[in-house]
Structure 1
Amino acid sequence: MTDLALFDSLLAASTHPDPAFPRFHPRPAQGWINDPNGISYINGRYHVFFQYNPDSARHSQIQWGHVSSPDLVRWEEHSVALSPQAGGPDSAGCWTGVVTSDDGVPTAAYSGIKDHGGHSQVVIARGSSDLVTWKQDGHVAASMPADPLVTAVRDPFIFRFNGARYAMQGAGLSDGRAALLLYTVEDMDSWQYQGIWLTTADPVAAQHTPAEIWECPQLVQVPSGEWVMMFSLWLSGDDHEHANGVGHLIGSLTSDPATGLPVFMPSSGGKSDLGRDFYAPQIVQLSYGSADAAPGSAPAALLWGWANEGPGRDGRRGRTQEEIDDAGWSGVLTHPRVLSVVDGALAVSPAPEVEAYRGASVVTGAAGSVALPGFAEVLVRGDANSVSGAVELLLGSGTDAQVVYSGSLAAGEELRIFLDASLVEVYRAGSVATTLRAYPAPGEEWQLTLPAGTTADVWELTLPA
């Protein structure tokens, strides 16, 4: 696709021939996607890049795809941003990384691998002001540390603290621990390694974020002041199944009195999503008050995650690799999600902008069993006094029905459920989300079963005018 051939990604999705293709989560019509990368808010637009193979629905020859939006609702797809360079440090793929503004110049820092099985290095690329055109000259800002304890490194992430710029990478150590490596970044072209920053030897980390490698590390501050660190919990043999999922730590960030370097002290943690189909999220820190600030009144953090295709989990019917190949596409990104900490625990909610997709009302105050359209938003409310039983989201009917989601609801509690063809997102007020995939067969319908003491409002999803 040329830069002149931009199109509304959501409108294109509405005519996609595959009924399982999501319409309200922008992605290219064909090809493989996985980790969201380079999420940024620059020059008045949100930019979301992602690992991308345009030529196949399989994980191979990874490039960076790119969509952007002025409002988190209307999305445009752009040409491929970054591609493997023959003979370069990224010849085997442009893997996970970030985009930041470096003295006003959009700059990508990503994991490049020179040959399959080789160690990754941090590769730098510079972008145009609209982030559509990129210059890749093979510049390496950080190589594999010379520390023999460090056996694997990946996924750079940049953060700011006390006016200084730092970076971290996820790592695996020879003794089996997962780790974070810390860098100072006074110059984007030359990162200075400061050593191993945190490992799973920390008892809080060991409890909440167990892994052999911490992938896709993130570190942001939420409006209440706490710092949230998030990891994708890699285990050998995962092969896109990711049994440990994604975990987070909540804590404080202070300065070491001797070195001035940041020190992260975790105090609590947990799972960052309760679904088996969620991995490799990336968070963007929005700093209000700057020239590139998004509208709002307080600092915020927005997260996107990757929901992959799969063989089916927990009793849900999936897709075989043959079916995925026939469909010609694989992977979708979640809605943007707002992070906060409430009573010491992570709370995740859909970005308020996605309410723009709410269309005609289907039913209000429904009870019992409710038929749902294939593209829907559902708000379930628990009675102020008591609720008995579980809320269940079913696909199909009778003995062949799949239980896609089942969860209890406390008195006065709310659930928001989004159905977008084969992607289900469930948000529980004051808690983390649940991301699931399920594939309606021809003639199958969605059903919501409500326990006594609960009611539901349902809307169809529509594209905004």
Structure 2
Amino acid sequence: MTSTTALPSIRLISNRKEAMTGLHATHVLDRGFPLLHPRPEAGWLNDPNGIMFVDGRWHVFFQYNPGSARHEDIHWGHVSSPDLLAWEEHPVALAPRPGTTDGFGCWSGVGVVDQGRPAVVYSGARDRHGFSEVVVVHGSADAQDWSGERVVAASLPADERVTMVRDPFVFELGGRRWAIQGAGRSDVGGALLLCGVDDLDAWTEEGYLLTAEAPVVSELAPCEGWECPQLVRVGDDWVLLVSLWLDGQPHRGVAWVLGSMELDEATGRPVFSARRTGIIDEGSSFYAPQAVQSDGSDGQPERVLLWGWAQEIAPDGVRGRTQADTDDQGWSGMLTFPRELVVRGDEVELVPARELTGLRAEVVDAAELPDQAEVRLTGAGAASLALAGSDTQLIWRGELAEGDEVRILIDASIVEIHHTGHPAQTFRAYPADGERYAVRQDAGVRADAWSLALPTAGGVSASH
């Protein structure tokens, strides 16, 4: 749940079921609209939610306002894919119910499989004051029908120091199921509430897993609360992600905390011990990611997959969009490409999901890129990416050392950059008539580039 001040709608948009994502739209009038990142043709989109692999498909839900390009009236949108490349849009999964626990919105949460049945766990808010209850809904076996009973599994915490609570995340440790919720506390700022989840429909309060005053974690930027907490195991390590929230202020980034976790012998509760922290994505646009532990059911090795929200925020020096611009275009926000979360020594890094190489189509010139493209840089020296036209808008500049690799993934107005050994960077840029993406590099840097397109039935990408 990403909190901002709700604004009145000024443009209503019909949510036509036949209006598929940009992958399937018969026409796209806005050059900034993505063709390879799934999203509805219109409306507001923010946090990824409820990600799970069910019935042979990856299901990804997201915060969604079908009625306008404004952050209000939050539903759960829904897309799915068998391969993380070709996506199908489904009807809205969850909608607010006026006068009930989620009357102000169906906010962020996760997907789980409970006794063989898909279920989603989310924050239901009655009003705009920052407090929410945990709501659970069991779906159909194929994760398509979410019309079941909505059960309040956890009410507001008893601790009066809590100033905000939202965004449940469920994990397993020691043969039991647990959950954390992002929270803010009046004395320390960021905190993680801990709950026992032996029964998915009835949680028990178990105190705190972590607060911002803990060793190592205290190095994070001060904030009023931690949003969208994610807690996943990578090999022998545990990685915690928290989105740093200040009410009414620009988002302060997404932090990773690398550590270990064990059960306390006296209480039987999880104890997280942090050893290092950093920022997972240093771009201007990235916030509120969701990570999911993949057990290999999708035919790939066990891994942690992650999607983030790419906000409509361009870096300094790059032409952006105003609220009036997004109102006029009728859409705002998208999800990043899927990424894999890896641990290298004491560093946490995001790399493109291995499936994405399947989008590579024709070899192209890195100095004159199409709007859907990938560039792979190797060697040693400086390189940059810009929107080139009558003016040059510098999006990224980096320095490669021998052995480094940089992958730049472009889809219309989203740019995702992965440089080995560095935080990822997610940017937004909006090419206009007469402008093209262009990479420039020193003589010691090699640039390989491809257009990107969906694979055809025969397995070869089809160029747009």
TM over 0.5: yes
Indicate the residue corresponding to 1:121 in structure 2: 133
Q: Is the 8 A contact 1:6 1:78 kept in 2?
A: no
User: Which of 300, 313, 316 is 2:303 aligned to?
Assistant: 300
Letter in 2 for 1:377: E
The verdict on how the C-alpha distance between 1:270 and 1:14 changes in structure 2, with shifts beyond 3 A counting, is: farther
Residue pairs, 1:365-404, within 5 angstroms: 370-382=367-379, 387-388=380-381, 390-397=382-389, 400-404=391-395
Shift of 1:136: 4.8
Q: SS of the residue aligned with 2:92?
A: coil
User: Which of 418, 423, 426 is 1:435 aligned to?
Assistant: 426
Deviations for 1:341-398, whole angstroms, at most 9, x for unmatched residues?
A: 01211121111111111001114xx7xxx2222211000111xxxx34x311111246
Q: SS of the residue aligned with 2:325?
A: helix
Unpaired stretches in structure 1, ≥5 consecutive residues: none
* Structure-1 separation of matches of 2:25 and 2:359: 14
Unpaired stretches in structure 2, ≥5 consecutive residues: 1-15, 457-464
Letter in 1 for 2:325: E
* Structure-1 separation of matches of 2:25 and 2:176: 42
2:339 maps to 1:337: yes
Indicate the residue corresponding to 2:106 in structure 1: 94
Indicate the residue corresponding to 1:460 in structure 2: 451
Q: Is the 8 A contact 1:208 1:248 kept in 2?
A: no
Q: Is the 8 A contact 2:188 2:211 kept in 1?
A: no
Shift of 1:104: 1.2
2:225 maps to 1:234: no
Indicate the residue corresponding to 2:179 in structure 1: 167
Q: SS of the residue aligned with 2:446?
A: strand
* Structure-2 separation of matches of 1:11 and 1:231: 31
Shift of 1:21: 0.4
* Structure-2 separation of matches of 1:157 and 1:246: 16
Indicate the residue corresponding to 2:201 in structure 1: 189
2:265 maps to 1:257: yes
Residue pairs, 1:147-162, within 5 angstroms: 147-162=159-174
2:55 maps to 1:43: yes
The verdict on how the C-alpha distance between 1:200 and 1:373 changes in structure 2, with shifts beyond 3 A counting, is: same
Shift of 1:251: 0.5
2:284 maps to 1:276: yes
Shift of 1:149: 1.6
* Structure-2 separation of matches of 1:14 and 1:199: 49
Count of residue pairs brought into register by the alignment: 444
Shift of 1:210: 3.8
Q: Is the 8 A contact 1:417 1:426 kept in 2?
A: yes
* Structure-2 separation of matches of 1:440 and 1:11: 19
CA RMSD between the two structures:
2.0
Indicate the residue corresponding to 1:316 in structure 2: 318
TM-score of the aligned structures, taking structure 1 as reference length: 0.92
Deviations for 1:10-55, whole angstroms, at most 9, x for unmatched residues?
A: 5325731111001110000100000000011122110100000011
Q: Is the 8 A contact 1:306 1:333 kept in 2?
A: yes
Shift of 1:145: 0.7
Indicate the residue corresponding to 1:352 in structure 2: 354
The verdict on how the C-alpha distance between 1:431 and 1:188 changes in structure 2, with shifts beyond 3 A counting, is: same
Q: Is the 8 A contact 1:251 1:265 kept in 2?
A: yes
* Structure-1 separation of matches of 2:174 and 2:214: 24
* Structure-1 separation of matches of 2:130 and 2:394: 42
Q: SS of the residue aligned with 1:323?
A: helix
Q: Is the 8 A contact 2:260 2:272 kept in 1?
A: yes
Shift of 1:305: 0.2
Indicate the residue corresponding to 1:412 in structure 2: 403
Percent of aligned pairs with the same residue? 50
Shift of 1:237: 2.2
* Structure-2 separation of matches of 1:361 and 1:338: 25
Q: Is the 8 A contact 2:22 2:37 kept in 1?
A: yes
Shift of 1:147: 0.9
Shift of 1:135: 2.5
Q: Is the 8 A contact 2:418 2:425 kept in 1?
A: yes
Q: Is the 8 A contact 1:348 1:430 kept in 2?
A: no
Shift of 1:406: 1.1
